[in-house]
Structure formats: structure tokens, C-alpha cells
Amino acid sequence: MLETGGHSWSIGELGALCGVTVRTLHHYDQIGLFRATGRTESGHRRYSEEDVRRLYRIRALRALGLSLDQVREVLAASPDDVFAVRRLLTSQLSALRDQAQQAQRLQRQIQALLDNMGGAMPSVDQLISILEGMTMYEKYFTEEQRTELAHRRAELGPAAVDDARTTFAGLVEEGLGYVSANTPVDDPAVRDFARRWDALGSQFHSNDATKVAARSLWQEKSQELSARLPWAAERLQELVSYLQRVRKGYERGLDQ
């Protein structure tokens, strides 16, 4: 609980209390979105209660799916508007209710899948859909990254997401074929395959940070993730390693 009565916070204290990394606060400062209103005699940032209220508004707007540029526009239009804050709180409450409904839908989806499985394997679409809702993502993706990923999926739309799932399954099968055939990583067809693989991922990742988080998730949870997909974990690990070699060879070629 943040104290009142004119209290101020260092950047580390503010980050710990509000669940924001110091790196994020530095980034907000660099782009002029959120800056400390005070400094100590030695030049260290000190954040006021007014700053905390602004940070709350930034985080709430980001949680609603707004980009940083859009957040800046909203704050510039109504920097200290009580009615704007009320609308924001109402929108955030609505978003939280939507999240709760989404969690309930996921519970029903998993229960229905368990009830109807019998001796048959679930479809790839069913497994991928459940995989997207698993809470393990919270460990590897920050709240802002998860919001950004959800925003990108919303921008693409359900039809494009479904097409991406189908394309992904086809790319996995194609890649495993190259691995099984021990196709050289500098083969033009393989390089084209790697470009298409990365292009598909880029549709859902707006920056390198989410890509790094996704790779960390895979590296640490490959067995668990693969258990929910129709391909063996070892085979998928071989494919990921193969892709890494293809990329390295391609990058070396660009440097020459």
C-alpha cells in the first residue's frame, strides 16, 4: 500500500511497489511519457503522489491495449481530469470483467475437452487454443508484453490467427522434413523456410523483447509444451536448433 501525506519514492521503490521494472521506468522517462517531478541533492529521481497517479493511468491505459503513443495522447488531452479518470477506471473494470469471463471460458473449454476426449487425441487447434491461455506465460512475459501480444492478436483478427495456426502446423512439418533429410542449412529452400517461419512469428511479436521471452519459455518448458502438441519434444527441439543454425549461416552471409 502506498503511503500518503507527501511521501516520495525512489525509482527502485516505485518500481517494486507498483510492479514496474526500473528499466521500464527509465524507458518512459527517455520518451517523455513519465518523469520524476523531484530530484535529491545528488540528482537521484524522487517520485511524488501525483507521479504515482500518472503511472497508474499509464498502466491502466496499457492494460486496455493502448500503445504508448496513444497513452501519451490520452494523457495530454486530459492530464488531470476527474471525469477522464472515472471513465478510465470504468473501462478498466470492464476489461477485468472480460478477463474473468475469458478465464471462465477457458475452464469450460478444458473441462469439455476432458469430458469428450475418450481415447482420442485432441485436435491441434484445440491444444493450441488452450496453450495460449495457460498461466505459465505470466512467468515469462511481463504484463505489458502480454497486453501487447493480445493487442497484436486483436489487430490481426480471428480469421488471421486461425490461418497462422494452420500455417504454423505446415511449417513444422516442412521443417521436420528438412531435419530428417539433413538438408544443408545454406540450401536456398531452407533459408526461404526460415524466413517464412520468422515472418509468421513477427506477426505476433512487435519487438525483440517478446521474442526473447518466447524463446526462454520454450527453452525451459519445451517438454511441457510439446506434450500438448502432436510432435515429440525431441523432434521440436531438433527443429529449433536447426533453425538457429540456418539463421546464423544466413546472418554470416549478410555480413560478407
Q: What is the pLDDT along the chain (256 residues), one digit of tens a residue?
A: 344 456 888 999 888 888 888 999 999 999 999 999 888 888 889 998 888 888 888 888 887 767 788 788 788 876 666 676 677 667 767 777 777 777 776 676 666 666 655 556 555 555 555 545 444 555 666 767 777 777 777 777 778 877 888 888 899 999 999 999 999 988 999 999 999 988 888 777 666 676 677 777 666 666 666 666 677 778 888 888 898 888 887 655 543 3
pLDDT at site 178 = 93
With the CA atoms of 12, 13, 16 and 22 taken in that order, what torsion angle do they form, in degrees rounded to the nearest 10?
-20
Q: Note the pTM of the prediction, 2 decimals.
A: 0.44
pLDDT at site 226 = 63
SS3 category, 78: coil
User: Could you write out the DSSP letters of every residue in 88-135?
Assistant: HHHHHHHHHHHHHHHHHHHHHHHHHHHHHHTTSPPPHHHHHHHHHT-T
pLDDT at site 10 = 92
Residues 120-130 as b or e (16 or more Cβ within 10 Å = b): eebebebbbbe
With the CA atoms of 80, 82, 88 and 94 taken in that order, what torsion angle do they form, in degrees rounded to the nearest 10?
170
pLDDT at site 191 = 92
Which residues neighbour 88 within 8 Å (Cβ) at sequence distance 6 or greater?
A: 57, 60, 61
pLDDT at site 235 = 84
Domain 11-75, CATH number (from 2.40.128.20, 1.10.260.40, 1.10.1660.10, 3.60.110.10): 1.10.1660.10
Domain ranges of the chain: 11-75, 123-255
